[in-house]
Structure 1
Amino acid sequence: MQLRDLPHTDPGEPDVRSGHHFLVWLGRMQLGGQLAALLWGLVWMLPIGAMPLAVGMAVQAVVDRDGGRLAGAGALLIVFGGLIALGDSMLHRAAVTNWITAASRVQQLLARKAADLGSVLTRRVAAGEVVAVSTGDVEKIGWFVESFSRFTAALVTALAVATGLVVYAPELGVVVALALPVLALAPLPLLPYATRRADDQRAKAGRATELAADTVAGLRVLRGIGGEELFLDRYRAASQEVRTAAVRSARMWALIHAVQVALPGVLLVVVVGHGVGLARNGTITIGELVTVYGAVTFLLFPMHHFAELAMAYSFSRPSAKRAARVLGLARTAAGTGADTGTDAGALGGELHDPATGLRAGAGRLTAVVCGDPDAAGRLADRLGGHPAEPGGLPSVRLGGVALDDVPLAGARAAVLVQDKDPMLLSGTLAELLDVPASGAVSPAAALAAAQCGDVLTALAQAAVGVPDAGDEPMGAPITERGRSLSGGQRQRLALARSLVADPEVLVLDEPTSAVDSHTEARIAEGLRELRAGRTTVVFTSSPLLLDRADTVAFVQDGAVVAEGPHRELLHGDVAYRAVVTRETDDEKQAAADSPRSDGGAVRDEGGVPRMMEETA
């Protein structure tokens, strides 16, 4: 495969039983590239291993004053030099191609898995681990895949040189052949120690990185309470632990390299000492002694490749294990997600979750009140056909069709789930709102319903002087994650994006948590009008949204315990009122002792407790 062919048309289905199986699978997937690297590696290394033979011939020709043999030896040196140059350049090309191809395959697999699971991915695996796998771990995995073919070429060349020495000079070749396995296996007892130290270094580096990221993210708050020095001291301590672990790891790898240099050096001394005695006795010629000396010196070269493969494997094994763990996550535990022949375009009707008993009527605005925000997030994911945790729970059904049995693209086209912390990508406002949509809702209507008037004004001011923006808010740039906007502005833009998509079912998780009460009331009315005739589910505890819903479902301990209009539940369900009004224990007791059915709350003319408007 050539680099111009990337990305892969299909990265394949990885073997994620373990990190080792994943590495083997990667090697099999680019077997052609591995064979090409092996071939060019042999073209490069075999002439290097044979170079001592030509040098020995030249030396012996000089001793014998044989001009013809000297010219032949010179010709061999020229040929070997050309092959070395060709093999070196082509091996580098093939090795880099293998490295980038493997890294690209892993990144495509990770991107596909992230798109498959959506926001559920970070519920099952820490976001930092996903980032680590897609950056540093990908490089380490590619390094092992790339180094394996060079190791194979070095192994074949070393065996060929040892065999040639046995045939060329049996008196010395046998010594080299017997010593070669010892040289190759001597560092193996040290590898487990080196691997453990390398793992310890990576773990401490990961903790230091997480601490640094958390500190940067909360820097504004830390400065407000004067805590930046405290966290800076913690990071200093963590970085020193990383430094100490790195030094310990480097010492072990230095010891391994020292062993791989010292033992061949000892072998070289023994061979030369024995060879000098044989040359004095006339058993071997001076040229043969020079050839054996050069061949033994060459054996230092493949030893370095053996050490590199050991190091690459020790670093890539935990990386491959992490990648396999992430890639092994499934969309669902019970459903197959396979194409069952269901027409995704025909999906519609009531949205029903058998696990909790939640029912969202077709074409109605249903609000869900859940005292546990994490449970609300998991339920919102389930409604989109993406279970947050595998547990064999029954699939959510839309119009009687199990979403787990619908192709992923079809399920997402029918049900759109907006997280409580939606992501805004960098680009212009027009690009932000350019999403797959039915076309029934214009961007202007969606922005109006989401009450984005002040956001448009701010973006129009930011667009002044921006090339190609045309002083229009739709051409204004939005920074990464919308950092240039306030939390409420980001939330409203994300809501507008979801409204533009106009899915059959829209699930919103706390869409107005960062919005003031007056704006929230207008958003509630705009949402109700724009989504008329469409199924909408809103997870919220805001009275302003609840009062405008067609029906409210109260979920407690993983099940719907009450349903009905907001005001009826407020009057008749003490637990529901406690969640919505944020009552304290003392207030609950006072409400229970009060003879009034509404718990003594002061009401306005519309029947909504004033205390709720204040807390909203």
Structure 2
Amino acid sequence: MREFPEPDTGVPHLGSPLRFLLWFVSVYKAPMTFAVLFGSACTVAQALIPAAVGRGIDQGLIGQDRRALLVWSGCVLLLGLIQAVTGTLRDRCALTNRLGATYRTVRMLTAKVADLGAELPRSISAGSLVTISTTDLGRIGLALESMARGGGAVVSIVLIAVLMLVASWQLGGVVLLGVPLVAWVVARLMRRLHQRQNDLRERQGALTDLAVDIVDGLQVMRGVGGERVFAARYAARSQRVRSEGVRLATVEAWIAGCRLLFPGFLTTAIVGLGIHQVRAGVLSPGALVAFYGYAVFLAEQMRRLTTTVDRLTRALAGAQRIVGVLSAVRQTGSGTRTMPDHRDEFFLADPVSGLTVPAGSHTAIVCARASEADALADRLGHYADPPGGYAGVPLDEFPVDEVRRRILLVDRDPKLFSGVLADQLGCAADPDEVGRALWAASAQDVIDALPDGLKQEIGGGREFSGGQRQRLALARALAADPETLILLDPTSAQDAHTEARIADRVRAHRAGRRTVVLTTSPILLDRADHVIFVENGRVTAEGTHRELLGSPSYRPVVSRGVNL
């Protein structure tokens, strides 16, 4: 059995949306060729049926020749069989192209998203990703699928024009003038449709981004009473998106009408002129019937051709966004230098603040502003420039995959994914280690409350409260057991008793390994071996938490409004 889709996605051409689509054509060269050949054979067989019927009428019915009637009836049957067989083979090849292109694109996008990792939000908005995943992926496959029918439509239109020119140059001339005119009108409408589609997608992406921001900041907005303001803003933007959708639907309605109206006018002109020529004795009645069949068939092929153009136009718009994602690069560098083995004298350093963290220490960092803590954590974890240093070497000189394996950053809003909870916590690798990590993160009660325990299927963590998600994410990080663990406000959603348990247990669990906690929690700071105070982007004080409480600038940051 053929493996499908192919395991090797290849290297796409990302120079332009058109080159990206042409790359798919080259990848599926064989099925594309067979699809067009079978599609052409199918439409040619269908196009010749009116000619055979017309001959049967002239020679068999009007000429009262039974043998001719049987011969031409047999030709109609044979052409029908050819159409059925080649049509089935065409659809099979076209479906191969469609599924192959769709799933190949999914794999390339998934690989790119995984490669960008935490840098993804900096390069691509959530709205753009939603649009790509829900709309653009399918359009690439549909465009390749429609090429088989579109190619057959072109061949059949040319064949019909030749047959008409041979039988009557006047009718053939009507076809040769009418078909390009209809195609030009539809192409003009397609260009306008393309512009409307781009405008609508941009507005939809911006609206999705706003919705994500509202959901993420709902708790804060409730605290300051800003729900109504943001709701009104969302409603206003939603109405603009609706208006843009109505404008797009108007253009689509015009296109749908033109697909029926213009081919209908062309068919009417052909039939009317044919009747006039029959009366004049230029055409036979059978030829007129054949011309009517040509006209009806031609209208159908024109609709197929315009549908193909429509799908190609939509695919180009989708390919532009997909190429933008696939062309995104990491903002942080990745070198080739070998990362040295862990030693006690190897420091993790930040070149901006002058901070250094020795190996094997449990160090807490207090930043006067939350934005400073975020930036510092990103530099130490090699998520922002300038990168931190390890053993005196900038992190961007080491392979980024190795840095990620050795230095793990848990940010303020850790995510859980849909699936079996055990798989996310690393139970398959070492169940015992996961059990110890759950205990250290004080998260065992969360597991015990689930009907299926660690085997529970979760839907992205929506089943848990913010504090439970925070503890599960901490357990996941502890189970990974990195050489350096950086925790950014790891207990911000916990009560004081749970926070104290986590502080004691994490310190014991991580004994002998470097742990960096960026926090202003007095409970966590009191358990740290060493506390570093960063103010205005620079290290201004170091010592234990109790020693630093005497500092007039340190104490207000960590006091939380209580007497210490």
TM-score class, shorter-chain normalisation, is 0.7 to 0.9
Write out per-residue CA displacement over residues 34-87 of structure 1, whole angstroms, 9 at most, x where no aligned residue: 223212322321211222111111111122222332222112211211122223
The counterpart of 1:33, out of the listed 19, 31, 34, is 31
- CA change 1:163–1:399 in 2 (3 A) is farther
The counterpart of 1:368, out of the listed 359, 365, 376, is 365
Write out per-residue CA displacement over residues 222-247 of structure 1, whole angstroms, 9 at most, x where no aligned residue: 99999999988877776665555444
In 2, the alpha carbon distance for the partners of 1:579 and 1:385 equals 26
Q: Which residue in 2 is equivalent to 1:176? A: 175
Question: Which residue identity lines up with residue 436 of structure 2 in the other structure?
Answer: A
In 2, the alpha carbon distance for the partners of 1:39 and 1:83 equals 13
Q: Secondary structure at the match of 2:493?
A: coil
Could you tell me whether the CA contact under 8 Å between 1:110 and 1:134 is conserved in 2? no
In 2, the alpha carbon distance for the partners of 1:225 and 1:581 equals 22
The counterpart of 2:435, out of the listed 444, 456, 461, is 444
Q: Which residue in 2 is equivalent to 1:310? A: 309
Q: Secondary structure at the match of 2:196?
A: helix
- CA change 1:26–1:611 in 2 (3 A) is farther
Q: Which residue in 2 is equivalent to 1:611? A: 563
1:273-292 map, 5 Å: 273-292=272-291
Q: Secondary structure at the match of 1:442?
A: helix
In 1, the alpha carbon distance for the partners of 2:389 and 2:232 equals 52
Write out per-residue CA displacement over residues 269-323 of structure 1, whole angstroms, 9 at most, x where no aligned residue: 3333333343344433333333233223222122112322333244334332222
In 1, the alpha carbon distance for the partners of 2:69 and 2:397 equals 77
1:541 is displaced (CA, Å) by 2.1
TM-score normalised per structure 2:
0.86
Q: Which residue in 1 is equivalent to 2:377? A: 380
Q: Which residue in 2 is equivalent to 1:490? A: 469
Q: Secondary structure at the match of 1:284?
A: coil
1:330 is displaced (CA, Å) by 1.1
- CA change 1:575–1:132 in 2 (3 A) is farther
Percentage of identical aligned residues:
39
Could you tell me whether the CA contact under 8 Å between 2:271 and 2:295 is conserved in 1? no
Q: Which residue in 1 is equivalent to 2:558? A: 580
In 1, the alpha carbon distance for the partners of 2:354 and 2:44 equals 71
In 2, the alpha carbon distance for the partners of 1:394 and 1:442 equals 34
In 1, the alpha carbon distance for the partners of 2:198 and 2:470 equals 40
In 2, the alpha carbon distance for the partners of 1:375 and 1:71 equals 89
Q: Which residue in 2 is equivalent to 1:479? A: 458
Could you tell me whether the CA contact under 8 Å between 1:166 and 1:177 is conserved in 2? no
Q: Which residue in 2 is equivalent to 1:419? A: 411
Q: Which residue in 2 is equivalent to 1:524? A: 503
Could you tell me whether the CA contact under 8 Å between 2:410 and 2:477 is conserved in 1? yes
- CA change 1:305–1:350 in 2 (3 A) is farther
- CA change 1:353–1:238 in 2 (3 A) is closer
Q: Which residue in 2 is equivalent to 1:141? A: 140
In 2, the alpha carbon distance for the partners of 1:445 and 1:278 equals 93
1:134 is displaced (CA, Å) by 1.8
In 2, the alpha carbon distance for the partners of 1:138 and 1:228 equals 35
Moved more, 500-509 or 312-321: 312-321
- CA change 1:188–1:428 in 2 (3 A) is closer
- CA change 1:36–1:380 in 2 (3 A) is farther
Question: Which residue identity lines up with residue 450 of structure 1 in the other structure?
Answer: A
Question: Which residue identity lines up with residue 73 of structure 2 in the other structure?
Answer: G
Q: Which residue in 2 is equivalent to 1:592? A: none
1:24-173 map, 5 Å: 24-61=22-59, 62-173=61-172
Question: Which residue identity lines up with residue 351 of structure 1 in the other structure?
Answer: L
Could you tell me whether the CA contact under 8 Å between 1:552 and 1:566 is conserved in 2? yes
1:487 is displaced (CA, Å) by 1.9
Q: Which residue in 2 is equivalent to 1:186? A: 185
Could you tell me whether the CA contact under 8 Å between 2:165 and 2:173 is conserved in 1? yes
1:533 is displaced (CA, Å) by 2.1
Question: Which residue identity lines up with residue 413 of structure 1 in the other structure?
Answer: R
- CA change 1:486–1:181 in 2 (3 A) is closer
- CA change 1:168–1:522 in 2 (3 A) is same
Moved more, 14-23 or 501-510: 14-23
Q: Which residue in 2 is equivalent to 1:198? A: 197
In 2, the alpha carbon distance for the partners of 1:52 and 1:254 equals 32
1:499 is displaced (CA, Å) by 0.8
- CA change 1:88–1:229 in 2 (3 A) is farther
In 1, the alpha carbon distance for the partners of 2:152 and 2:352 equals 58
Number of residue pairs matched? 561
In 1, the alpha carbon distance for the partners of 2:146 and 2:536 equals 53
Structure 1 runs not aligned, ≥5 long: 388-392, 464-468, 584-609
1:29 is displaced (CA, Å) by 3.1
Could you tell me whether the CA contact under 8 Å between 2:406 and 2:482 is conserved in 1? yes
In 2, the alpha carbon distance for the partners of 1:219 and 1:385 equals 30
Structure 2 runs not aligned, ≥5 long: none
Could you tell me whether the CA contact under 8 Å between 1:524 and 1:545 is conserved in 2? yes
Could you tell me whether the CA contact under 8 Å between 1:141 and 1:320 is conserved in 2? yes
Write out per-residue CA displacement over residues 337-396 of structure 1, whole angstroms, 9 at most, x where no aligned residue: 36x373x69477433344554433222223333344345334434433333xxxxx4544
Moved more, 413-422 or 250-259: 250-259
Q: Which residue in 1 is equivalent to 2:448? A: 460
Moved more, 41-50 or 92-101: 92-101
Q: Which residue in 2 is equivalent to 1:500? A: 479
Could you tell me whether the CA contact under 8 Å between 1:425 and 1:482 is conserved in 2? yes
1:431 is displaced (CA, Å) by 3.3
Indicate whether 1:359 and 2:338 are aligned: no
Q: Secondary structure at the match of 1:506?
A: strand
Q: Secondary structure at the match of 2:517?
A: strand
Q: Secondary structure at the match of 1:416?
A: strand
Question: Which residue identity lines up with residue 54 of structure 1 in the other structure?
Answer: A
1:14 is displaced (CA, Å) by 3.5
TM-score normalised per structure 1:
0.79
Q: Which residue in 2 is equivalent to 1:548? A: 527
Q: Secondary structure at the match of 1:503?
A: coil
The CA RMSD over aligned residues, in Å, is 3.6
